[in-house]
Amino acid sequence: MATTIDPEHVEITEPVPGSDLPVHLMYVEVWDGLYAPIGVRRPEGDGPFPIVLLASGNGGEGMAWIRDAVNNKGYIMERLVEAGYACAWLRYRSEVELGYHEGGPLVRDIRQGRDMFNRSPLEYEDEIAIIDYLKEQPWVDADRVGLIGMSHGGEMVLKITSEYHGVAAAVASEPASHEYLALTPDDTAFVNEETQLRNIEGMVMSEVDKVRARIDEPVARARAEGITTPILVMGREDDHLQGIFITSYQLLAEMGKPVSWVSYDHPLHGYVFPIRGADGEYEVNEVQHEAIAAVISFFDEHLK
């Protein structure tokens, strides 16, 4: 049966509710030959455009997650496209508990003519593979790639920029970077008896002094030593992990890295990604307008 879709380069275009800008749904091959879903939106014309890649949370859920994010967390995409940027929501494999901290650097070799790795790639390495793929596209300006990572996605920004230097600027919004900082949780976290994995959903790390006392600073500094990418770290007032957000910024600043800091008071975890309300309209207040304007200004400074 004939098909109009190239199985090796899948791209499907869908409309987006309330917008004249469609989304281009794609599957991108990552390092081990599996495929990660992304949803791209871009200005009219052929480009090449600067591009900003969006990541939130700890992975999984596939293309269904991408379609939901485009349709219900697409406000940031509209603002970026209006400002002249292409943009894409990314999805990647699920986070591995302490996979980054304990797994060590990924070593890639060849056996019998094909890839052989010392461990499976991790979620942040999927994002690096997606970045490299998009930089090869004719409508992307490969020298003007930016990232916005929120929560675990913010920690991924730190992991990526520590060892990969193909990004011009990055935003780490509310970065849940406890693994990156080699933080030892207190008794506000516990181990799930059934799985033997840590449950840190209720971990309270709002105070900087508490966080600084519980991180392995030599390990964190060694990881951050490779950072050369300008990074905007965004905190959230009264967040139970605000101490981690601030410490992530402070550590980079103390090391002389190109880092800046802003913090906003908003009830939504992920305030930089406004969500669509039950009435079909985006719920965006003045704090979010200000925060998004700061993000776009940051990218304008470094990508334009």
What is the Cα–Cα distance from 272 to 269, expressed in whole angstroms? Answer: 9
Q: What's the pLDDT at 3?
A: 57
Bin 78: left if φ > 0, else alpha if -120 < ψ < 50, else beta. alpha
Measured over the CA atoms of residue 136, residue 272, residue 56 and residue 38, the dihedral's sign is negative
d(CA 13, CA 22): 7
Angle at 93 between CA 68 and CA 200, to 5 degrees: 90
Instruction: Output the six-digit token pair for 279.
Output: 């009435």
Domains and their CATH numbers in the chain = 12-303 (3.40.50.1820)
Looking at residue 208, its pLDDT comes to 97
Q: What is the pLDDT of residue 200?
A: 80
Query: In three state form, how does the secondary structure of the chain look?
Result: CCCCCCCCCCEEEECCCCCCCCEEEEEEECCCCCEEEEEEECCCCCCCEEEEEEEECCCCCHHHHHHHHHHHCCHHHHHHHHCCCEEEEECCCCCCCCHHHHHCCCCEEEECCEEEECCCCCHHHHHHHHHHHHHCCCCEEEEEEEEEEECHHHHHHHHHHHHCCCCCEEEEECCCCCCCCCECCCCCCEECCCCCCEECCCCCCCCHHHHHHHECHHHHHHHHCCCCCCEEEEEECCCCCHHHHHHHHHHHHHCCCCEEEEEECCCCCCCCCCCECCCCCECCCHHHHHHHHHHHHHHHHHHC
CA nearest to 134, candidates 78, 74, 57, 54: 54
- Name beta bridge partners: 140: 49
Residue 265 CB neighbours (<10 A)? 11
In angstroms, rounded to a whole number, what is the distance separating the alpha carbons of residues 59 and 4? 30
Structure confidence at residue 240 (pLDDT): 96
Residue with tokens 């901290």: 101
The β-bridge partners of 234 are 173, 262
**Please, which residues bridge with residue 173 across strands?**
150, 234
φ, ψ for residue 154 (rounded to 5)?
Answer: -70, -40
pLDDT for position 2: 55
CA nearest to 203, candidates 217, 216, 184, 180? 184
Model pLDDT, residue 235: 98
Q: Which residues of the chain have pLDDT under 50?
A: 1
